Amino acid sequence: MDLRPLDGYLLDGTPSKRDAIEHLLRDRIDDPRAAPFYRAFEALGPRAADEALLALRALAAGKSPDDALIRRLRDLLKLARAGKQEARERFLRELS
C-alpha cells in the first residue's frame, strides 16, 4: 500500500483530504479491522474525521489504533503542521 498520499495530507495538506481518501479507497490494506474506517470514508468522504485517517494509518503500520496512540499521533501532527520538524520525524517513526 502506498501511504504517501495519506502521509502527505496529514503532514502537509497535500494532496487534498478528498484525494487522499480516494487513494485509500482504491488501495486498501488487507486487515479486517480497517473495514469500519473504509465504510466511514465511503459514506462521509472528506467529512470523515482525521482521527479515522490516523487510525487507518496506524493499522497500515501494523499497530493497534488504540486511543493512546491516536492521541499521541494527533498531538504530534499538530506540532508537525506548525512546522516542528522533530514532531514530523517522531510522527513518522511512530508509524514505521
pLDDT digits 0-9 by tens, 63-79: 999 999 999 999 999 99
5 cis-preceded (ω within 30 degrees of 0) = no
pTM of the model: 0.94
pLDDT score at 67: 97
The pLDDT profile of the chain, 96 residues, written as one tens digit per residue, is 899 999 999 999 999 999 999 999 999 999 999 999 999 999 999 999 999 999 999 999 999 999 999 999 999 999 999 999 999 999 999 999
Kindly write down the DSSP assignment for every residue of 20-42, as one continuous string. Answer: HHHHHHHS--S-GGGHHHHHHHH
Q: Break the chain into its structural domains and give their ranges.
A: 4-94
pLDDT score at 76: 97
Taking the chain, what is the end-to-end CA distance rounded to the nearest angstrom?
Answer: 13
